[in-house]
Structure 1
Amino acid sequence: MVKALDANASRLGCLNARVHALKSRMLKLDDFKLLLKSSDIKSFLRSLEKSSYSSCLPTSEEEFSTIEFDKKLVNLLIKEINIILNYLNKNDRKPFIALLNKWRHDSLRTIILSIINKVSKDIALSLLLPINPYSIEFLNYAYTSSRSIEDVIKLVPEYKLRYILLDTFNKYGVSPLFFESAILSYSYNQIFTALNSLRKIDKNLIFPIIQLDVDLSNILLILRGIALKIDPKLIESILIPSVRKPSYIHIIEMKNINMALKALSGSRYSFLADLIDKPMNQIEYYIKKYFVKYIYRYLYGDTMNLSFPITYLYIKYFEIMDIRTIMLGILAEISTDEVINYLIAYQS
């Protein structure tokens, strides 16, 4: 028993050191500023040459391709997840695998919502972080081979998720909010189930991170439901289960988004009151930015627990999303000030 505890402590110590090493290579504020100053893709790529993203760059013989760049970013993320998994036992791996699955399902969510909202394939590609099986190939096949959203759902290889999405389609028809809720609920349920396999100390530290992620996702679902003028009781029925739901559920009765944001001014989500009159897509990014700022605290202090690598991976994911946003802004010749509005890890 003592030997097992010693081995676990040793493994955790090695993991802690490894994640600190990975963390030291995260982009700093000056790195982001340099990327934002890039006048074209060539200068953007040069700015990444000495970073942890150097492996994602094209060789001197290759032309730059956003598709290949995205694939390499995803490969880097998965590589770092695997580095962490190598230090963990079977039970401790479960939340990390569930978190990766959530990001996979976010990719599926992007594809399904793009098709429902009749977004062009090119724009859908720009929105997608392609994580297998919900890859660029999956998106291309969904766009070219499918006649309806039901056909797209039938392409989903995960039986349980496919069943849930078909059930959602049969109940609510082609409505983006209900598909979004179904995918999020499925993903978070997997994460919460995985947390039950952890030691109490790790579960207690990681739970608030996931709980905040859920609550902010619920608030976004409510705001979208209000914008679509969906019946409050119906919105409430599709929210992700949360013990903190009573602290924000009252906004479900508000007549518009601004009233809902104002109604949160006396809650722990009071920062949302500053977003009155902002477009919905910017509200979403500000909410994600708030989440990253909140979890940053887990990167410091006592890091000899699993909340440290979980937080690192969350921030790494958003850092990758920021790199993509800057790249796409350069290609579309969007002003730096406008691009900054859609960055998440930057300045956090």
Structure 2
Amino acid sequence: MLPAAAKYGYLNAKVRALRSRKLTQEDHHFLLAAKDLPACLSYLATTSYSSCLPEFEQEAPELRFLERQLARPLLTDYAKVIRSLRGAKQQEVILALFRRFEAENLKILLRAQFAHLTREAVSHLLYPIAHISRLPWDTLWACTSIQQCIDHLPPDIFGRSLQNALPQFDAQGRLFPLEMALDFSCFHLLWEAIYGLGKSYNRTVSKNIIALYIDILNTLWVIRLKIEYQLPAEEIVNYTIPGGNIISLTCLNSLARVQDITTFINLLPHSFHQQLSEIKDWGNIDRSLEAYFLHYLARVFSGQPFHIGIAVAYLLEKEIELSNLITLLQMKALNFTIKESRARLSWQLQENGYVPAS
């Protein structure tokens, strides 16, 4: 315990200080209660998100611009966590988790290349990651073809995976194989970084967090590929991410073949059943599994505190907060009722516990 406390004491203190700046139950209540988008943004300006909100007088700014601006606190916290770590192997875990944002920006870059759009035309869709990322973005945006972009990426960071996916891209004439290659590469890099920590409690906690994260992502990917893309079951399994803990490849294969939502839920691990027992619509599964994951992450903070899993749990928690916040703003813009909004947010379980003062 003492060596771990010496190694991760500062990280633990830093993460808990950052976590104290998350939106509270009171914030959730008043954001949900806001009558419209401008009122919601006015309240948000009183929270830790105030520094990334643009000034506006009467008309609220465009949501597509706001979404990436609201990611600034999360990405700033990534930088702070990385600086709080002493060892290169520990930093690499957080950098590997961060690479998912690099991958999202690369997807936008590839889509722009594919559609012959300029950097300026899609700049509002890019995450503000320049202060952390070391990829040669200016060089990549100057490229005139997708092949050229891939050639300029480091082989060990996305380059090799994209090169391997190029034949499928050429054969299909669509970006889906390249985008999936980026997703697979992110998790490959993450597992490499976690196993680089050696056999320790430190690695075990991080491994369990990411494995559950993958189990939930795979479940949601099966639903999306089945419902939205209508892919055949045998193809769906090829696009799931290896590394889950409690959902096997056999189970994913069965889930891909099921059409009835009740049977689908019953095939999932028993630990998910209580969270999903009342679900009757495919569209509600994602928020319920997010809420389950949030409860799991919260438990990480009640155990032994001196390990890098504390940082991994916090950053994923913060990411879900951001996702819910963006969803809420979108619903306010569409004039959803409070009841409709609450049903689509995984923070609803926390918000329900808040009773406003009379």
Q: TM tier, shorter chain? A: 0.7 to 0.9
User: How far apart, in 1, do the equivalents of 2:203 and 2:57 lie?
Assistant: 48
1:77 aligns with 2:74: yes
Which residue identity does 1:329 align to in structure 2? M
Q: Is the 8 A contact 1:153 1:162 kept in 2?
A: no
1:187 alignment counterpart: 186
Aligned counterparts, 1:7-22, within 5 A: 9-22=5-18
Q: Is the 8 A contact 1:219 1:248 kept in 2?
A: no
1:198 alignment counterpart: 197
TM-score by length of 1: 0.76
1:239 aligns with 2:240: yes
Q: Is the 8 A contact 1:58 1:64 kept in 2?
A: no
User: How far apart, in 2, do the equivalents of 1:83 and 1:306 lie?
Assistant: 14
Q: Is the 8 A contact 2:324 2:345 kept in 1?
A: yes
Q: CA deviation at 1:27?
A: 1.0
Which residue identity does 2:99 align to in structure 1? N
Q: Is the 8 A contact 1:74 1:130 kept in 2?
A: yes
Q: Secondary structure at the match of 1:191?
A: helix
| TM-aligned CA distance change 1:222 to 1:328, over 3 Å | closer
The structure, 1 or 2, with the larger RCO (C-alpha pairs under 8 Å, 6+ apart) is 2
1:303 aligns with 2:305: yes
Q: Is the 8 A contact 2:258 2:264 kept in 1?
A: no
Q: Which runs of 5+ in 1 are unaligned?
A: 117-123
1:56 aligns with 2:52: yes
Which residue identity does 1:83 align to in structure 2? K
| TM-aligned CA distance change 1:10 to 1:346, over 3 Å | farther
Aligned counterparts, 1:122-271, within 5 A: 130-132=127-129, 158=153, 159-170=159-170, 173-174=173-174, 176=176, 181-199=180-198, 200-227=200-227, 228=229, 230-242=231-243, 244=246, 245-246=248-249, 248-252=251-255, 254-258=257-261, 260-264=263-267, 267-271=270-274
Q: CA deviation at 1:23?
A: 1.2
Q: Is the 8 A contact 2:276 2:288 kept in 1?
A: no
Q: Is the 8 A contact 1:73 1:320 kept in 2?
A: yes
User: How far apart, in 2, do the equivalents of 1:154 and 1:63 lie?
Assistant: 42
Q: CA deviation at 1:317?
A: 1.1
Alignment match of 1:339 (pick from 315, 338, 341): 341
Paired positions, count: 322
CA deviations over 1:124-147 (Å, ceiling 9, x no partner):
999x6735489xxx9xxx9xxx9x
Q: CA deviation at 1:340?
A: 2.4
Q: CA deviation at 1:189?
A: 0.9
Q: Secondary structure at the match of 2:270?
A: coil
2:356 alignment counterpart: none
Q: Is the 8 A contact 1:36 1:326 kept in 2?
A: yes
2:84 alignment counterpart: 87
Q: CA deviation at 1:308?
A: 1.0
| TM-aligned CA distance change 1:105 to 1:62, over 3 Å | farther
Which residue identity does 1:29 align to in structure 2? Q
CA deviations over 1:137-161 (Å, ceiling 9, x no partner):
x9xxx9xxx9xxxx67875664335
Q: Secondary structure at the match of 1:45?
A: helix
Q: Is the 8 A contact 1:261 1:275 kept in 2?
A: no
Q: Is the 8 A contact 2:37 2:329 kept in 1?
A: yes
| TM-aligned CA distance change 1:246 to 1:334, over 3 Å | same
Q: Which runs of 5+ in 2 are unaligned?
A: 115-121, 154-158, 351-358
Q: CA deviation at 1:217?
A: 1.8
User: Structure 1 stretch 311-320 or stretch 260-269: which is displaced more?
Assistant: 260-269
Q: Is the 8 A contact 1:222 1:252 kept in 2?
A: yes
RMSD over aligned Cα atoms: 3.8
| TM-aligned CA distance change 1:222 to 1:110, over 3 Å | farther
| TM-aligned CA distance change 1:106 to 1:285, over 3 Å | farther
Q: CA deviation at 1:316?
A: 0.7
| TM-aligned CA distance change 1:180 to 1:29, over 3 Å | farther
1:27 aligns with 2:28: no
Q: Secondary structure at the match of 1:347?
A: helix
Q: CA deviation at 1:313?
A: 0.7
User: How far apart, in 1, do the equivalents of 2:42 and 2:267 lie?
Assistant: 44
1:119 alignment counterpart: none
2:156 alignment counterpart: none
Q: Secondary structure at the match of 1:26?
A: coil
Q: CA deviation at 1:85?
A: 0.9
User: Structure 1 stretch 291-300 or stretch 19-28: which is displaced more?
Assistant: 291-300
Identity of aligned residues (%): 21
Q: Secondary structure at the match of 1:284?
A: helix
User: How far apart, in 1, do the equivalents of 2:92 and 2:319 lie?
Assistant: 18
| TM-aligned CA distance change 1:54 to 1:238, over 3 Å | closer
Q: Secondary structure at the match of 1:86?
A: helix
Q: Is the 8 A contact 1:104 1:132 kept in 2?
A: yes
